[in-house]
Structures are given as C-alpha cells and as structure tokens.
C-alpha cells in the first residue's frame, strides 16, 4: 500500500518522510494557500523533498483551461501527478492527459459509478472520500470495497487512493478493503506509530535493563 501525506507544509512533510515510510504527497490549493508560499514553488519543493508522486490540483473548471493548467503543472517536475475534479470536464481532461502520458489523480469521488468513469478515462489514481461520506450518514468504507471489486472485475489499472481519512481505523479498514494507496494528515501518520502498550513495554524493558546493571 502506498502511503501519502496530505499536506503542503514543507517542515511537516520533512518530519514525516524522514523515516522512509512515506511514498508521496497529496496537496490542494487550500493547503498550499495556508503556507503563504507561491503555488508552483511549493509543488516543486515538495517533489524534491519526497521523491515520489505529488498530487497538484488544477483550479480551472472547464476542459480547455483545465488542460492548459494541467500541462503547466506536469511540466514543473517529473513527480507531479495532476489532480482533477470528477466532473465531465475533469474526465475529458483526464483522458487527454492519459493519452499524453501524464499521470492523474481524479478526486472528489463519492460513488462507484463515478470511479468506473474515472478508470475508463485512464486515471492513474481515483480518490474516494471516506470521511465526507461518513459525515452524511453513508458508510464511506463501502465505496472502497465497491471500487476494488469493480476495478478487479474489469482489470482496470487505476489505483484506489483512499482519501478524507480522519483516524487510524480508517486507514486500517482501507487497507483491509484492498485500497492501493491512502493519503492521511500528518497527525494521523504520527498516531500510526504509537500504542500505549509499546510505550509501557519499552519502559519496562529499560527499567529491567537498569536493574540488571547492564
């Protein structure tokens, strides 16, 4: 499973990728705006830091300007994956970019039939939003399972990238459901490393070591 961090904060990302456990990054205009840095400059810096897929999102909503913007983003760095909305224009742009050999991440997926269309458009990744579905009373994890089955049924190469992950249980369930990748906030990544029994066990080992005079 590929593990991405959902952030545009360089220092936060530097801390997360230091252990070699992070495969890439997802960003969006809102995350970059919080940094106060220029968008393109930030994307390049993240690509250089991570050395893996970095999803950079377009802001245009119509196909022609979206395609132009997407090409500009792709030209920034070899690791850029162009992030597109799951709309008619977004899928049209996805198809064009795929034909040009440019990797894409089709985002804001909320149903399996939307995900089917994204796969037919040649998306490299599709991002189903688990947490936002949970927020409206639907089982977000069911979407991961449905997409996994649809893609396996027809041999689509599009990767299921679980997004809108709120806690560690979300990540576990996405992994069990067969998601190819997941993108998580840095705070959730930190929690993956922690367990109270690990901490107490280590404290006991160290205390016993000290008693033994070793």
pLDDT, one tens digit for every residue, the chain (214 residues): 999 999 999 999 999 999 899 999 999 988 999 999 999 999 999 999 999 999 999 999 999 999 999 999 999 999 999 999 999 999 999 999 999 999 999 999 999 999 999 999 999 999 999 999 999 999 999 999 999 999 999 999 999 999 999 999 999 999 999 999 999 999 999 999 887 788 888 888 788 788 877 5
Residue in 83, 103, 191, 210 annotated catalytic: 83
**Is 160 in contact with 4 (CB distance < 8 Å)?**
no
pLDDT value of residue 214: 59
0.85 exceeded by the pTM? Answer: yes
135's tokens: 């927020």
pLDDT value for 203: 81
- What is the predicted pLDDT for the residue at 81? 98
| pLDDT value, residue 179 | 98
Residue 38: Cβ-neighbour burial (10 angstroms; 0-12, 13-18, 19+):
exposed
User: Which strand (E) or helix (H) includes residue 128?
Assistant: strand 125-128
Per the document, the length of the chain is 214
Task: Give the whole-angstrom CA distance, residue 60 versus residue 67.
Answer: 9
pLDDT at residue number 200: 82
DSSP string for 10-75: HHHHHHHHTTS---EEE--HHHHHHHTS-HHHHHHHHHHHH-S-EEEE----SHHHHHHHHHHHHH
End-to-end CA distance of the chain: 40
The Cα 86–Cα 65 span in angstroms is 16
Active site residue 210: no
């Amino acid at each position: 499973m590929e593990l991405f961090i959902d952030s545009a904060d360089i220092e936060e990302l530097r801390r997360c990728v230091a252990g070699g456990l992070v495969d890439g990054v997802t960003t969006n205009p809102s995350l970059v705006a919080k940094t106060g840095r220029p968008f393109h400059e930030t994307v390049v810096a993240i690509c250089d830091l991570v050395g893996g897929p970095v999803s950079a999102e377009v802001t245009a909503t119509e196909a022609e300007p979206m395609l132009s913007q997407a090409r500009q983003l792709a030209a920034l760095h070899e690791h850029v994956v162009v992030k597109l909305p799951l709309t008619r224009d977004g899928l049209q742009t996805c198809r064009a970019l795929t034909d040009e050999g440019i990797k894409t991440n089709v985002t804001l997926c909320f149903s399996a039939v939307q995900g089917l269309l994204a796969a037919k458009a040649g998306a490299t990744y599709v991002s189903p939003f688990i947490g936002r579905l949970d927020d409206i009373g639907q089982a977000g994890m069911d979407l991961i399972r449905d997409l996994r089955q649809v893609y396996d049924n027809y041999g689509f190469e599009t990767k299921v990238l679980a997004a809108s992950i709120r806690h560690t249980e979300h990540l576990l369930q996405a992994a069990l459901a067969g998601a190819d990748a997941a993108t998580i906030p840095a705070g959730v990544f930190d929690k993956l490393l922690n367990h109270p029994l690990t901490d107490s066990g280590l404290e006991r080992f160290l205390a016993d070591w000290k008693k033994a005079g070793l």
